Structure 1
């Protein structure tokens, strides 16, 4: 199977005008775009994915409900719909996505051999009770799903941050949900 090609960005987030394979993107720390999708059930709980123990980076850590790279020539909304289908087995429409914000992330992993420099668009979706009850983890990507209320997440994250992939802007947004509920 051919390696996924990803559009490269300049450090300011503007398109650089070329694409590279995923391996090169992370070996050289090239800036690129990804998506994060936060899935909630009808009761306000958030589903976190337990990253596969086979993943190259951040194995066995709790992460956003769903996330992924944006394939060259695609956009974040289409990528979000694709990732929901692949990682969770959920079929959604473009208008089911609520756009939240764009953020940047710079990280060096795996003893300095994996560079993750990304701009990511963040979305929220609501899962029906049927969808929430029948999530299908993608083998090699997701080992399981864990449900938490925003308050439970913040409590667990405060006690054990090492069990989560760190996404400060995303977590600030979750914190803001609680603040608006008070």
Structure 2
């Protein structure tokens, strides 16, 4: 789905300009997104399999919830909206724990240049997996896996081809931050 988003400079600062997401991707303009990693008190991580129709990384496993921040939308407002849209869960703003903002630049093709700043949050999942309602157009599957398995598969180099390539340092940071909360 195309949407109006804010355009940033190469340092992640607002430029005051807006554009459609498709235009930002076509021209490689910097913009922002949210990543929300859900974890359970017993050390599991919720991962999402991207839908088959996605422009980038179809059917790869990824962050629990992710999405673009709408033009003029507050970061946490966007995170709460994306959580409800993608997995049908309502959480409180205070449940979101920001762990950082990470640049991610990928040239998928000459017509799809993705330059994003991921505002990344953790949130404890307090409901069983079967209570989540995946958004069929975005999410093929949801799965809870142990933090150990997740670590091995994302930065232990056991199965990198299974996941969206966010980078080993990014995945290490997510794992370390979840461990601090267990």
Regarding TM over 0.5, the answer is yes
1:149 CA displacement: 1.5
In structure 1, the partner of 2:171 is: 171
Extract unaligned runs of 5+ from structure 2. Answer: none
Task: Determine the C-alpha separation between the residues in 2 that align with 1:163 and 1:128.
Answer: 26
In structure 2, the partner of 1:11 is: 10
Deviations 1:64-117 (A, max 9, x none): 0000000000021000000000001110111110111111000011x3321110
In structure 2, the partner of 1:41 is: 40
1:179 CA displacement: 7.3
Task: Determine the C-alpha separation between the residues in 2 that align with 1:135 and 1:108.
Answer: 33
Extract unaligned runs of 5+ from structure 1. Answer: none
Q: What SS is found at the alignment partner of 1:129?
A: coil
Select 1:150's aligned residue among 147, 157, 162: 147
Q: What SS is found at the alignment partner of 2:104?
A: strand
Name the count of aligned residue pairs. Answer: 178
Q: Does the 8 Å contact 1:151/1:178 carry over to 2?
A: no
Q: What SS is found at the alignment partner of 1:138?
A: coil
Q: Does the 8 Å contact 2:122/2:178 carry over to 1?
A: no
After superposition, the Cα gap between the structure-2 partners of 1:129 and 1:58, relative to the gap in structure 1 and judged at 3 Å, is: same
In structure 2, the partner of 1:116 is: 114
Which 4+ residue blocks in structure 1 deviate beyond 6 angstroms? none
**TM-score (normalised: structure 1):** 0.91
Q: How does 1:1-182 map to 2 (within 5 A)?
A: 3-109=2-108, 111-130=109-128, 132-157=129-154, 158-168=157-167, 169-177=169-177
1:120 CA displacement: 1.4
Q: Does the 8 Å contact 2:99/2:177 carry over to 1?
A: no
After superposition, the Cα gap between the structure-2 partners of 1:41 and 1:104, relative to the gap in structure 1 and judged at 3 Å, is: same
